[in-house]
Structure 1
Amino acid sequence: MPRRKERGPWFWRGAIALMLTSVFGLFAAAAMNQPPATDSETNCRMDRQDPSHTIVLVDQSDPFNATDLAWVRALLEDEARALPKYGRLTLSVPNAASPYDPLTVWSGCSPGSAEGANPIFQNPRMIEQAWQAKFHKPLMGRADEVLVDTVAPSSPLMEAMFTLGDRPDFQAGVPARRLILVSDLMQHSKDFSMYKTGTEWEAFEDSPLMDLRPGLEGVAVVARVVPRQEYALPLGEVKAFWQRWFQDTGAEYGSVT
């Protein structure tokens, strides 16, 4: 019977090297999945390295009916789901009493959804439960408190966006920035009111707001028009005005829907 060939030292060295590589690989993968330190209230990263920030500015110059509330909630749901882990969402409303101080209704970061969970190191069901409890529920709760039966006497949209564009957590260092404007798009404040001057660009050029533009370079902007039975001005003219205004701010103006 032929003698079984013994394995030489190179075989064992290779096997040991393979095992060590596997062990180090597992440790490296585990280290990469270690979460950064986060704020206990907002779930946002303590190092302020937000991967994205979406601001939803909701204007209620007229009361929202049940249909309006339903689609605004659906919009918030979609934007919240689209965020990456640690992505920030801020819900804000204009402030008629102090136009340059828009009110922050809620601001927080996604702890990650089940869709983005790593099944090797994470439990998708637990991830979804955490997302619902820490992010979705408080966001929707605050939205419902503010949006129901709330009416503003004016709509200082430009002033609000000027301040929002100046937020420290909404600067060019954030890789992905979005601004969602939910409104009938009727700018109405002391410094410029479409109800008084219409959408004539020359009238806007004579206003104090002409030289006061928000820094929205690189920001993806989408305007969602609140349905009205009757609009004070032709909607096409209003949309054209805002398209020009956003282009002058450097924003990536996507659409008005």
Structure 2
Amino acid sequence: MSRLSKKDRQGIILIAGVILVALGMVAFNAYLSGRPRPDERNCVAPVTAKTVFVIDQSDAIPEQTASEMRSRAMKTVAEVVQANELVSVFVITEQSRTKLLPVFSACKPQQDGSELTENVKAIQRRFTENFQKPFEAALAVAAKKSEASPLGEAIIDLSLSDSLRAGKSRLVLYSDMMQHSENSSLYGCSDGNAAIQSFRLHRAGAVERPTFKNTDVQLNFIPREGVGEAVAACRTRFWAWFFGDNDGANAALTTDYLPGGAKVS
């Protein structure tokens, strides 16, 4: 048997290389076809983390304050929220007692990929069109003056819904935290314990305060000048009680203030 020429050996190596590449592509395509596809909210089961933004739109919000709210929310999504984490946005108005529905709800999709195996431009385009733009639009909805601000009731309803039920969750609120409904009002309040008792009394037969599991609660206060020391102290006492049932390694309650100086209306 004659020895193969150098040219023949190179041809065999080339053919073998082509075969290996083809087999690799077949295997990769099989891998992709076996991966679960995102649903209509960009989510791939199982969703193990959720972030809920709650924006109190029951009173006017100065543009300076609203701009900072949007900036903080977008930074949280960009730097903290993970891929395939469900992000929802709710707004609080006087209608939130019976019509509390998200104005946005979608999982954060993949934002980048490998140039070798994926269409990176298509991935980035889907991220922008299916997630980033709708999310930013939801944050930009203008606030309107409402006769009530049922913040406590809305948060309880969220805690009882699927919106915050996950391995770990994050609840981010942008509000002056001035609870005002037929159940309890912090306007004119001078006794935090009395405000708590009033809320509990009116909630008899329903959940009195939320129970959170492994939830990072972040309060971003919309400043209202002219609240007064007594009302401010009452507000602090009420919400300390309200958020007092939160267990788990991820459980936390932090507060921060937004810029601006809107007067109490």
CA distance in 2, matches of 1:99, 1:159: 7
CA distance in 1, matches of 2:190, 2:94: 20
**Equivalent of 2:132 in 130, 133, 136:** 136
Give structure 2 stretches of 5+ with no counterpart: 1-19, 257-265
CA distance in 1, matches of 2:212, 2:33: 33
Q: 2:129 corresponds to which letter in structure 1? A: A
Q: Secondary structure at the match of 1:255?
A: strand
Report how far residue 249 of structure 1 moved: 4.9
Match of 1:59 in 2: 56
CA offsets, 1:167-194, max 9 Å, x none? 22422xx222110111001111100111
Are the structure 2 counterparts of residues 29 and 83 from structure 1 closer, same or farther at C-alpha, using a change threshold of 3 Å?
farther
Are the structure 2 counterparts of residues 198 and 122 from structure 1 closer, same or farther at C-alpha, using a change threshold of 3 Å?
farther
Equivalent runs, 1:70-109 vs 2, <5 Å = 70-81=67-78, 82-109=80-107
Q: Report the TM-score, using the length of structure 2 for normalisation.
A: 0.73
Report how far residue 137 of structure 1 moved: 0.4
Are the structure 2 counterparts of residues 140 and 60 from structure 1 closer, same or farther at C-alpha, using a change threshold of 3 Å?
same
Match of 2:263 in 1: none
Match of 1:253 in 2: 252
Q: Secondary structure at the match of 1:165?
A: helix
Q: Percent identity?
A: 23
Are the structure 2 counterparts of residues 228 and 125 from structure 1 closer, same or farther at C-alpha, using a change threshold of 3 Å?
farther
**Equivalent of 1:220 in 216, 220, 228:** 216
**Equivalent of 1:122 in 118, 138, 150:** 118
CA distance in 2, matches of 1:180, 1:187: 17
Are the structure 2 counterparts of residues 199 and 88 from structure 1 closer, same or farther at C-alpha, using a change threshold of 3 Å?
farther
CA-atom RMSD in angstroms: 3.2
Q: 2:73 corresponds to which letter in structure 1? A: L
Matched, 1:170 2:164: yes
CA distance in 2, matches of 1:255, 1:107: 24
CA contact (8 A) 1:246 1:253 kept: no
CA offsets, 1:50-96, max 9 Å, x none? 13111111112321121122112112212322322221111001241
Report how far residue 121 of structure 1 moved: 3.3
Match of 2:109 in 1: 111
Are the structure 2 counterparts of residues 241 and 250 from structure 1 closer, same or farther at C-alpha, using a change threshold of 3 Å?
farther
CA distance in 2, matches of 1:30, 1:198: 67
CA offsets, 1:183-234, max 9 Å, x none? 0011111001111434512431243247522231221100000123333555
CA distance in 2, matches of 1:222, 1:85: 21
Q: Secondary structure at the match of 1:102?
A: coil
CA distance in 1, matches of 2:52, 2:241: 21
The number of residue pairs the alignment matches comes to 229
CA contact (8 A) 2:217 2:252 kept: yes
Are the structure 2 counterparts of residues 43 and 132 from structure 1 closer, same or farther at C-alpha, using a change threshold of 3 Å?
same
CA contact (8 A) 1:158 1:187 kept: yes
Give structure 1 stretches of 5+ with no counterpart: 1-19
Q: Report the TM-score, using the length of structure 1 for normalisation.
A: 0.75
Q: 2:221 corresponds to which letter in structure 1? A: V
Matched, 1:187 2:186: no
CA contact (8 A) 2:58 2:143 kept: no
